Amino acid sequence: MELTGAEILVESLKKEGVHTLFGYPGGVVLSVYDVLFHSDIRHVLVRHEQGAVHAADGYARASGEVGVALVTSGPGATNTVTGLATAYMDSVPIVVFSGQVPTNLIGNDAFQEADIVGITRPCTKHNFLVKDVRDLARIIKEAFYLARSGRPGPVLVDLPKDVIVGRTEYVYPDAAKMRGYNPTYEGHIGQIKKALKALQESRQPVIYAGGGVVLSNASRDLTEFARQLRVPVTATLMGLGCFPGSDPLFLGMLGMHGTYRANMAVTHCDFLLAVGARFDDRVTGKLDEFAPGARIVHVDIDPTSISKNVRVDIPIVGDVKNVVKKMLGLVQAEEWKDWGANLAPWNEQILAWRDHHKMAYDQGPDVIKPQFVVEKLWEVTRGDCIVATEVGQNQMWAAQYFTLDQPRCWLTSGGLGTMGYGFPAALGAQAAFPDRVVIDIAGDGSIQMNIQELATAVQYRLPVKIAVLNNGFLGMVRQWQELFFEKRYSHTRMEFAPDFVKLAEAYGALGLRAERPEEVVAVIRAALAHPGPVIMDFRVDPEQGVYPMVPAGAPISKMLLV
């Protein structure tokens, strides 16, 4: 049957199992919107294209499905760049469709033209300019395949107007065939055995788990592996939730704002099993003092991640889930039966580190501490919710004080550190899971970066609860100024901020405020009881810092504890 490009797009989305689309219409994609008008695909009209991409990203992280966004040409397309770069750094599977001027006008500086394929080349896993409607179905198939397979990532498909309105016979391919793209899923069994032999010889092992564990759905296997062998586990910011945060084997996050025991354990371990983690500089600190005495095993599906920053003794290229499953199978053997008992002294040492420095704060009677808000959010929800964060102090307090026991409940921009990510991402997650509680932990600076999406939240009844830890500062930058620039707070004081309660009301949402510690729980309860979106404005201590902290470039064992 002959279909137009627009019809092919919508039909293909259905074939890929897409139920929800985040987008913003414009001139050249009008024909697509016309087809969507009659379609049963749910379209969420955001208020800024950046919001559409972050929402697709949040949808993908929470659900494990590919998130999809649709935007128009030129400014519509360029507004997606930050969202694409965010998803790229955190390996999130999304597909973004952008409109483009007709092929005969490309390169002529036509109205609303931008070379979006050129612009997004370094921040997408791959991108396509569709030059002929006959290639469209195949390219959509390839785009989804690329986004979700191997190391996942964002893919952009640029659709010129003549492709959108052109007609061709529609056949959706069963499979994508790309001769240059063959991800390695199975880890090399020889390497896996070598890694386990090194583990067997160790007495102070640590598992260092990253976002790849979440992405490959390997949490359950990894948890079983660690518990069976009694190996302590630390996680990166992206890996939080991949191992139960309440498990006694969990060391907490490591790195710049990691726990004392996690950083000490990694510094003193004799074996480090890195799974789906990429040795980010925020994790390793000074490289030559990172796990200096350890034999390092690195499991990653992306060979470029291996030995990029840290020398690796035993590399294993493969899908984390496959590799961990194989490892788990092998440690069922008799020789491993009581092996975990060898680790008793090591686990005791870790307990001693925990007791030497517990993460804590001092909640007095007058001023709300931001950590207190985060802890109460956890207590009231019992952690049964999806948490998104913005970027900065709010993000680190959330990482430190919100105990995550499940994967895919933690949406945060780890790699790019995108302020303004959390709220639209939370909307995406809420669209995927309408019945779950979704909370965005925000700062007063970050929330103002994509606050316009409150309109989206209200229009589509996405009842996200925003907790603003309002300290009147760009807090993390202020903290660095305090520590490294002799308290010269150059342009980090937000001298004017909107009244967040009235702002919420202006959008038709609920606004609540807490100014004293005893009001915090009541505000949280009221927010959760409200059926629609809520902004909770918590007036918190403006001077509070995030600790522990490792100054950039220092070894992770040299923490400012405060």
Partner 1 sequence: MKHTISVLVENEFGVLARVAGLFSGRGFNIESLSVAETLDPTVSLITLVTRGDEQIVEQILKQLNKLVNVLKVTDMQEGEFLARELLLVKVNATEQTKPEILRLVDIFRGKVVDVSPKTYTVEVTGDEAKIRAVLELLQPLGVKEVVRTGKVAMPRGRHGSP
Between 39 and 307, CB nearer to partner 1: 307
Neighbours of 325 (CB within 10 A): 18
Between 52 and 133, CB nearer to partner 1: 133
**Per rule CB under 8 A, count of chain residues that contact partner 1:** 17
**Among 181, 336, 339, 480, interactor with partner 1 by CB under 8 A:** 181
Sheet holding 271-275, edge to edge: 250-253, 233-235, 205-209, 271-275, 295-300, 314-317
Between 152 and 252, CB nearer to partner 1: 152
Among the listed residues 457, 77, 61, the one whose alpha carbon sits nearest the alpha carbon of residue 69:
77
Between 7 and 142, CB nearer to partner 1: 142
Between 54 and 151, CB nearer to partner 1: 151
Q: Give, as ranges, the residues between 289 and 318 that touch partner 1 (CB under 8 A).
A: 302-304, 307-308
Report in angstroms how near the CB of residue 56 gets to partner 1 at its nearest: 21
The binding track of 132-151 with respect to partner 1, each residue x by CB under 8 A or -, is --------------x-----
125 binds partner 1 (CB under 8 A): yes
d(C-alpha 434, C-alpha 248), whole Å: 32
**Among 2, 109, 174, 180, interactor with partner 1 by CB under 8 A:** 180
Helix and strand totals (H; E) in the chain: 23, 20
117 binds partner 1 (CB under 8 A): yes
Report in angstroms how near the CB of residue 114 gets to partner 1 at its nearest: 15
177 binds partner 1 (CB under 8 A): no
CA 475 vs CA 17, 392, 479, 515, 536: distances in Å: 41, 7, 6, 18, 18
CA 311 vs CA 314, 315, 448: distances in Å: 9, 10, 41
Among the listed residues 106, 328, 295, 80, the one whose alpha carbon sits nearest the alpha carbon of residue 225:
328
The binding track of 230-259 with respect to partner 1, each residue x by CB under 8 A or -, is ------------------------------
CA neighbours within 13 Å on the CB side: how many for 232?
Answer: 34
Report in angstroms how near the CB of residue 59 gets to partner 1 at its nearest: 24
Between 178 and 560, CB nearer to partner 1: 178
337 binds partner 1 (CB under 8 A): no
Rounded (10°) CA dihedral 470, 476, 482, 488: -80
Report in angstroms how near the CB of residue 305 gets to partner 1 at its nearest: 9
**Among 75, 118, 292, 329, interactor with partner 1 by CB under 8 A:** 118
DSSP code string of 197-233: HHHHH-SSEEEEE-HHHHHTT-HHHHHHHHHHHT--E
Report in angstroms how near the CB of residue 126 gets to partner 1 at its nearest: 5
Between 118 and 434, CB nearer to partner 1: 118
The piece of 43-51, 173-181, 331-339, 511-519 that touches partner 1 (CB under 8 A) is 173-181
Say if residues 546 and 476 touch (Cβ distance below 8 Å).
Answer: yes
Strand partners, 389: 441
**Among 1, 40, 122, 174, interactor with partner 1 by CB under 8 A:** 122
Say if residues 175 and 139 touch (Cβ distance below 8 Å).
Answer: no
Report in angstroms how near the CB of residue 276 gets to partner 1 at its nearest: 17
Report in angstroms how near the CB of residue 188 gets to partner 1 at its nearest: 16
Among the listed residues 38, 56, 37, 34, the one whose alpha carbon sits nearest the alpha carbon of residue 46:
56
Q: Give, as ranges, the residues between 263 and 292 that touch partner 1 (CB under 8 A).
A: none
Q: What are phi and psi of 73, to 5 degrees?
A: -75, 175
Strand partners, 298: 274, 315
Report in angstroms how near the CB of residue 66 gets to partner 1 at its nearest: 17
The piece of 120-128, 267-275, 352-360, 467-475 that touches partner 1 (CB under 8 A) is 120-128
Identity (one letter) of the amino acid at 457?
A
**Among 15, 19, 126, 286, interactor with partner 1 by CB under 8 A:** 126
Say if residues 68 and 57 touch (Cβ distance below 8 Å).
Answer: no
The piece of 119-127, 341-349, 369-377, 400-408 that touches partner 1 (CB under 8 A) is 119-127
Between 269 and 317, CB nearer to partner 1: 317
179 binds partner 1 (CB under 8 A): yes
Among the listed residues 211, 203, 266, 204, the one whose alpha carbon sits nearest the alpha carbon of residue 234:
266
The piece of 55-63, 117-125, 292-300, 432-440 that touches partner 1 (CB under 8 A) is 117-125
Strand partners, 466: 440, 535
Between 307 and 557, CB nearer to partner 1: 307
**Among 14, 104, 108, 121, interactor with partner 1 by CB under 8 A:** 121
The catalytic residues are 49, 111-112, 161, 476
461 binds partner 1 (CB under 8 A): no
The piece of 29-37, 118-126, 212-220, 290-298 that touches partner 1 (CB under 8 A) is 118-126
CA 378, chain centre distance (Å): 19
Between 124 and 395, CB nearer to partner 1: 124
Strand pairing class (2-4; 167-169): antiparallel
Say if residues 206 and 231 touch (Cβ distance below 8 Å).
Answer: yes
Report in angstroms how near the CB of residue 113 gets to partner 1 at its nearest: 16
Report in angstroms how near the CB of residue 271 gets to partner 1 at its nearest: 23
What are the percentages of helix, strand and coil residues in the chain, rounded to 5?
A: 40, 20, 40
Say if residues 550 and 560 touch (Cβ distance below 8 Å).
Answer: yes
462 binds partner 1 (CB under 8 A): no
Judged on CB neighbours under 10 Å (0-12, 13-18, 19+), 106 is middle
User: CB-based contacts of 175: which residues, under 8 Å, 6+ apart?
Assistant: 141, 145
Residues within the interface to partner 1 (CB under 8 A):
117-118, 121-122, 125-126, 129, 146, 178-181, 302-304, 307-308
